[in-house]
Structure 1
Amino acid sequence: MATTALVGAGMVALAAASSMPDHKADPAALNAANFSSSTTGIDAASRQANADRAGRSTDRSDMTSVDQMIPNLWLLPVKNYTVAPTTGAQTGIDLMAAEGTPFYAAHDGTIKLARWCGGYGYTVEVDTGAGTTILYGHASTLTVKEGQKVHAGDQLGLTGNTGYSFNPHLHFEIQQSGKAVNPVSFLMAQGVNIPDHNEAIDS
């Protein structure tokens, strides 16, 4: 079962995450986990190669052009996933997928955060505007940088098992005005059905 540790709710959880007691957050552990560390150069190269291959081979290579033709397009953040049962004070949804599975921007936006974030591990946060942000946690590799503009379907990184996590998965969380909302209900209203693996562009 994939488990995501959360402290508080909404953006308070993000702020608290960096201060949570995390054995992976001490300098030695972070150096071991950091894909840019010289001690893990081989692993970093391997992960980056996987990311490059995934970016070339993904069936979403044309999503950017599709996104430009469909206003307000929303998409599933990852493929070939299993929805994990929710546990405790869950503020998002955990989508279990093999480590190294590409994950994507569910909507247009600007990369607000792309780095290690305490219990969330390697994390991407996308500001989609109008007070809505999307958080993608526990990645093994990030392929975007803070400040970068992305479109729905653009690859953000590869799924992993970093931070407070017990199995490879993608933690997917949507916040509106700093408050976490139900991502399943939110995306359902946008024509995206997480439990059934369906998107508006499939219909």
Structure 2
Amino acid sequence: MRQRLSSEPDRYRGRRRVPTPPRSRYAAVVTTAFVGAGIVALGASALPDAKDVSPTVLDELKQASVTSQDVAARADNAERASRDSRTKVAAEPEVWMLPLQGYDFNSPYGMRWGKLHTGVDLVVPEGTPYVAVHDGLVTKAGWFGGYGYAVIVQHTDGSEAIYGHSSALSVKEGQQVKAGDQLGLVGQTGHAYGTHLHLELHVKGAPIDPVPYLQDRGVDIKLQVEAIYPDAAAS
């Protein structure tokens, strides 16, 4: 072994060498590290991991969320529809009106000259406008035999009104009308004796007396009195 000369520089001067641990201590350190890693691994395996959740469970959770949202949406739509329905009923009550103003009530419903007079006659000057007594659909607007030029309106409740002996018509078949809309002008066409409006009401296809029927709806055609909103008038 060569001895270091005193003139050679000391390469290790100023440096500290870390002593090598004994083999027994080294083994203990390594063993502790492996044991710690194992404990961590065991702990991690005990915790739930999202990617390990069954896809069926995830699908069921998603479906439950969608169903809950759908139920809430349908409940909201139902409530909105109910509010809209209540608002519409309050804003648009059933309206029944007189077909004319300032007329003479003549020839009531009943037997006349040995035959059934199936309506009432309201006498006014020729050319006087008349209006619909109730909302409905115009099913006839034109010549109608003994009624002359006539308008037939089928109401929303299934009843029908016939307006006869017109001198002119203001509506067409298939047209929707509201109570108070002009239908035509009074005349004496067809089998008419003098100028007048013949008003006839049918329920289930058969003529009825217009007087009590209209009275039940807030209109007294004999006294020329009408309640635009019969429910409010009754209360």
In which range does the TM-score fall when normalised by the shorter chain?
Answer: 0.5 to 0.7
Instruction: Report the CA distance between 1:70 and its aligned residue.
Output: 4.2
Determine whether 1:84 maps to 2:106: yes
Partner in structure 2 of residue 173 of structure 1? 200
- Which structure's residues are more often helix, by fraction? 2
Instruction: Give ranges in structure 2 of 5+ residues lacking alignment.
Output: 1-89
Partner in structure 1 of residue 127 of structure 2? 100
**C-alpha separation between the residues in 2 aligned to 1:70 and 1:199?**
17
Partner in structure 1 of residue 144 of structure 2? 117
Of 75, 79, 94, the match for 1:72: 94
Deviations 1:134-186 (A, max 9, x none): 10000000000000000000000000000000100000011011011110110
**Range that drifts further, 103-112 or 88-97:** 88-97
**C-alpha separation between the residues in 2 aligned to 1:134 and 1:184?**
13
Matched to 1:161, the amino acid is Q
Relative to the length of structure 2, the TM-score reads 0.56
Instruction: Give ranges in structure 1 of 5+ residues lacking alignment.
Output: 1-67
Determine whether 1:151 maps to 2:173: no
How do 1:1-203 residues align onto structure 2 when only pairs under 5 Å count? 69-86=91-108, 87=112, 88-201=115-228
Higher relative contact order (CA 8 A, sep 6+): 1
Relative to the length of structure 1, the TM-score reads 0.64
Number of residue pairs the alignment of both structures matches? 136
SS of 1:171 mapped into structure 2: strand
After superposition, the CA RMSD in angstroms is 1.6
**C-alpha separation between the residues in 2 aligned to 1:100 and 1:117?**
19
**C-alpha separation between the residues in 1 aligned to 2:199 and 2:145?**
16
SS of 2:201 mapped into structure 1: strand
**Range that drifts further, 88-97 or 149-158:** 88-97
State percent identity of aligned pairs: 46
Query: In terms of Rg, which structure is larger?
Result: 2
SS of 2:102 mapped into structure 1: coil
